[in-house]
């Protein structure tokens, strides 16, 4: 009997604490989203921005407004038919690319676009993670130059 009372107590505690836990989990998720060091963009299925973290604002170079289309972001390429977010959502596949940005193309940015599936028939949107890998590319170029110098 005591075991059954204990089970009831646990069930009642769980049902009473579900709403506060969901609320605190949601708050924690937003806080975690904002402290991720990489730029993170969240798009709805209509390709409009839902949320971006502070690193995304910094990388984009301006304050991002919700509702902005994915193809208006820094990764848009003139003459391309759509952008990487369009491609990921349309094909329902992760897209990984490296792009050159900046006035002189001096920045190398790694983009990973993951479609977010709602169910087997539809996509809820896409998550974009962008990382500035310019320092890595410069270090690689220096290592290759140094290796070539030593070999000659």
Distance CA 34, CA 54 (A): 6
Alpha-helix runs per DSSP H in 36-152: 54-60, 84-91, 134-151
The answer to whether the CB of 8 falls within 8 A of the CB of 1 is no
Question: Helix (H, G, I), strand (E, B), or coil: what is residue 105?
Answer: coil
Q: Is the Cβ–Cβ distance between 147 and 55 less than 8 Å?
A: no
pTM > 0.85: no
pLDDT reported for residue 78: 66
Q: What is the pLDDT of residue 12?
A: 47
Encoding tokens for residue 107?
């920045």
Distance between CA 42 and CA 30 in Å, rounded?
A: 12
pLDDT of the chain, 152 residues: tens digit per residue: 554 444 444 444 445 555 556 668 888 888 999 999 999 999 999 999 999 999 999 888 877 889 999 888 877 766 667 788 998 999 999 999 998 887 777 789 999 999 999 888 889 999 999 999 988 888 887 888 877 778 76
Write out the E strands in 35-121. Answer: 39-44, 49-52, 95-101, 107-119
Which pLDDT does position 54 carry in this prediction?
A: 94
Q: How many CB atoms lie within 10 A of CB 113?
A: 25
């Amino acid at each position: 009997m005591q075991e059954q009372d204990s089970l009831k107590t646990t069930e009642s505690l769980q049902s009473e604490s579900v709403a506060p836990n969901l609320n605190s989990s949601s708050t924690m998720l937003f806080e975690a989203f904002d402290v991720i060091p990489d730029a993170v963009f969240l798009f709805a299925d209509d390709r409009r921005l839902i949320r971006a973290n502070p690193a995304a604002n910094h990388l984009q170079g301006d304050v991002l407004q919700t509702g902005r289309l994915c193809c208006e972001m820094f990764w848009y390429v003139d003459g391309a038919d759509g952008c990487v977010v369009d491609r990921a959502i349309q094909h329902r596949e992760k897209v990984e690319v490296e792009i050159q940005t900046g006035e002189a193309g001096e920045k190398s940015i790694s983009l990973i676009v993951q479609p977010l599936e709602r169910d087997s028939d539809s996509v809820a949107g896409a998550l974009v993670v962008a990382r500035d890998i310019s320092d890595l590319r410069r270090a690689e170029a220096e290592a290759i130059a140094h290796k070539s110098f030593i070999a000659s």
